Amino acid sequence: MTRSRPSPPPGPMSGHEAIVSRRTIRQYLARPIDREALRRLVDAGRLAPSAANLQPLEFVVVDEPEVRDKVFPALKWAAYIHPNGDPKPGQEPQAYVVVLVNSKIREKMYEYDVGAAVEAMAVSAWSEGIGSCWLISIDRDKVQAALGVPPHYRIDSVLALGYPAETSTVEEMKDSVRYWKNPDGSFHVPKRAHRDVCHFNAF
């Protein structure tokens, strides 16, 4: 079986190019991520839009190997093709950003903030050649215990990060939303066509 080639790190790009070229990555090179790069992407999440500017989100960055090893078993990957979408041994994420919601600030309707912050972080990461995977199927009790998260914080989701060791390609959606993996290991992700979702001035 031929292994897919890693996606090349993107060169300089516009904001639009970074957004539309970003794909979910689940196989990573064993290459550490500089902590300053992690600080930059969290800053992108911090400055994302927040409803009523309440800013209920906080972030735990996990980059030490022994802590990563505690977080990884709490995560579930690529349900459509499980277990083929799980990171292979040696291709696990090199860092995580755990997204927390401070319930003393906001107890509901925080999902908009989370979506904006995670997209901002994923795009910021990709602009530096770092792939990501947004995970919401997680064992929150395990993550809370591993990181010592106080009880008044909700663990919403986890953004897994690493330099890509796989490729992911967009395909026009035909009959199914289910993504698939070729024998060479490359991902293919169906997306609705632009003409099917964009309406000008009236539906």
CATH number assigned to the domain comprising residue 38: 3.40.109.10
CA 87 – CA 179 distance, rounded (Å): 16
5-53 pLDDT, tens digit each:
444 556 678 889 999 999 999 999 999 999 999 999 999 999 999 999 9
Quick check: is 111 in a domain? yes
What is the structure's pLDDT at 3?
A: 42
Q: Is 110 within a domain?
A: yes
Residue 142 has pLDDT above 50, yes or no: yes
Q: What is the DSSP letter of 88?
A: P
Number of domains in the chain: 1
Residue 5 lies in a domain: no
Q: Enter the DSSP assignment of 81.
A: G
* 79-101 b/e (C-beta count within 10 Å ≥ 16 → b): eeeeeebbbeeebbbbbbbbbbb
- Identify the pLDDT of residue 16: 92
Q: Which domain holds residue 71?
A: 15-197
pLDDT the model gives residue 163? 97
pTM above 0.75, yes or no: yes
Task: Evaluate whether residue 70 is within a structural domain.
Answer: yes
Residue 105 within a domain: yes
